[in-house]
Structure 1
């Protein structure tokens, strides 16, 4: 007697419908939103064969458990539960590469993106578009009222910089709501950065040919529940990605973010120096020491929040990390001054020697703090 189990399995596989569209949704503390998002996708997508892949970065609110519970009764819902990995861009890339659907979309779980335009986006892809962007800034239906004033300013700045330096003719390069053929991502996977939030800009800037792009306006809603994955620091992160792309990927995004934070630290140093000397009457050496200590603390806090957000230190690790960062910066100062002095003795050019010392100090601080303060 022959078993019918294999034949039954084959029949089930043949009868199943492969998804035409995969929607990638990165999540972090979105437990209250995922069920509602699945319901809305079901209403919006109609006859399109779709699946949704939630990529969760081990949310403290255990979002992944809610997703898995939904998936147990709906085969269109999948969950990737990431342990020890953080970052929206990395989550999006991982979700896209896990899909077998010919078309992929990326959207947030916070319900601010309007899922009702997904059929229009999908139709544009089927009509030959290489990339379809849901935009908050173009067309009669567009609205960005869900953005805070700081994020609105950051978005405007990002759009202007993208147009000027990367020649991107899109109204919303910081959009987190877009769709494209999966093969477009497959072709540039090795060029994409898994750090940060600006996956759309990374995809556009990493594609060697000009993409046929369609923008579809939508109403950007207010957040319903959960916590935002973006904040006012994301503009600085965007600048880091922009500079990395302009360097042809030679300079890592994290290093550029480290430099941007260091630039803000110079401003903090000078401001503290003025306050210490004029408001508190400290001598210059005392004021300089105070300003240096404050600037190092500022740089540590900002780097912990932004540059190394995927390795963010908390509790006792935060205090230990600050201590090691002070030690690293002290050694970096010696490297800076020592190298600059040696160069000046051999080539008495103050600007060249000073700049070389500063670069060496910055590289040392970045390498040492990555290895000691924010080591994996």
Structure 2
């Protein structure tokens, strides 16, 4: 394999147009192109490259390439990588001078790649290098996408704090509510460790915002078969976490941008509209039952009654409108009763959370009970949508047996 000299890629700071990965114009001897996006990873990049080469040389000798895409790191990560090129002809180094961002760095690397399979791994050793060989196995079996998952069997997140675990799962829950048909395909849609077949994304305009490229691949790619491999996400050995408030905002922007570009909000928008009607029912009834100028009942009793009435209101509208395509396949009073029971159980669990938040916000933090109730309802809405989408209005897809049509 000829040695690829290091390249310098200059691009606007903001991504103006979507990035497209070109198809291969002729069969390539390179089977795997693995991109390593870096920023201030000088302390780990040499070890990572050494471990990757040691693993891949045993399975794909001369048939893989490593592409380091560095965003002009102040700690000279690109220079450290460039010094390895003399001994590693399979290594390319791209140093971007203006354009920034983990997801676009990966796409820029894929643009200059020659592999039939494209991949990404973090440059900070939080992704175990040996995982690449484990992900390569399902690709050899014909998978379109192989994902390293923290939530699949044998996966984990090492020593994450409870707060970080909540943030990660909360971000996934929000994504599932907004894009259930996309993020619901894998257990870890926020993973930054995966391999994808080039033909699954070649020629498709990709426009990720932030650092979660897998969501873009799942949403826009021609991805059929998906396999997941569990891994334990490691703590950073050096440097600082890249998770900041700005990355969270970019994640939400990306979800909304994808939802709008893929079509109307659909069931989530209808579910939210129904939820809004239930909020009015809940608020009006709570005011009538609890306010001293009316019945003046206790807050908890008033809240339980108003919430149950709102739950019944929401169920009827969701059954007749939001998920009508599902209810048509499950006709009859018995099926409707089953859906009502599941919906009620899920919402009652949400109600416990809602009530806890209401008491916490109103009686301990001094927020007016109506405003506290509104805040609590907003927090619980994503919980209710996701579980109801998965359980209450779910039709199991049964593939016909070709021997028994």
TM-score, normalised by the number of residues in structure 1: 0.58
Query: Which residue is equivalent to 2:286?
Result: none
Structure 1 CA distance, aligned partners of 2:143 and 2:34?
17
Shift of 1:148: 4.8
Distance 1:50 1:180, change over 3 A: same
Shift of 1:150: 4.2
Shift of 1:172: 0.8
Could you tell me which of 206, 209, 217 is aligned with 2:230? 217
Query: Which residue is equivalent to 1:100?
Result: 114
- The number of equivalent residue pairs is 232
Structure 2 CA distance, aligned partners of 1:62 and 1:148?
31
Structure 2 CA distance, aligned partners of 1:31 and 1:129?
34
Structure 2 CA distance, aligned partners of 1:27 and 1:230?
14
| Higher deviation after alignment, 238-247 or 42-51 | 42-51
Q: Is the 8 A contact 1:34 1:67 kept in 2?
A: yes
Unaligned runs of 5+ in 2: 3-27, 265-405
Shift of 1:153: 2.1
Asked if 1:64 corresponds to 2:75, the answer is no
Structure 2 CA distance, aligned partners of 1:38 and 1:83?
22
Structure 1 CA distance, aligned partners of 2:208 and 2:185?
24
Q: Is the 8 A contact 2:178 2:256 kept in 1?
A: no
Shift of 1:118: 1.3
Q: Is the 8 A contact 1:132 1:179 kept in 2?
A: yes
Indicate the SS of the match to 1:32.
Answer: coil
TM-score, normalised by the number of residues in structure 2: 0.54
Structure 2 CA distance, aligned partners of 1:31 and 1:145?
23
Structure 1 CA distance, aligned partners of 2:187 and 2:122?
19
Q: Is the 8 A contact 2:209 2:254 kept in 1?
A: no
Indicate the SS of the match to 1:220.
Answer: coil
CA deviation vs aligned residue, 1:164-220 (integer Å, no higher than 9, x gap): 3322221111110000112222132x1x2253111111111123x553211100111
CA deviation vs aligned residue, 1:249-295 (integer Å, no higher than 9, x gap): 799xxxxxxxxxxxxxxxxxxxxxxxxxxxxxxxxxxxxxxxxxxxx
Answer 1 or 2: which has greater helix percent.
1
Query: Which residue is equivalent to 1:47?
Result: 59
Q: Is the 8 A contact 1:37 1:111 kept in 2?
A: yes
Q: Is the 8 A contact 1:31 1:226 kept in 2?
A: no
| Higher deviation after alignment, 84-93 or 179-188 | 179-188
| Higher deviation after alignment, 226-235 or 50-59 | 226-235
Distance 1:111 1:217, change over 3 A: same
Distance 1:149 1:27, change over 3 A: farther
Could you tell me which of 174, 180, 187 is aligned with 2:203? 187
Query: Which residue is equivalent to 1:172?
Result: 188
Query: Which residue is equivalent to 2:100?
Result: 86
Could you tell me which of 38, 47, 51 is aligned with 2:49? 38
For residues 91-240 of structure 1, what are the structure 2 equivalents within 5 Å? 91-139=105-153, 141-166=154-179, 167=181, 168-188=184-204, 190=205, 192-207=206-221, 209=222, 211-240=224-253
Distance 1:183 1:34, change over 3 A: same
Structure 2 CA distance, aligned partners of 1:32 and 1:59?
12
CA RMSD in angstroms, aligned pairs only? 2.2
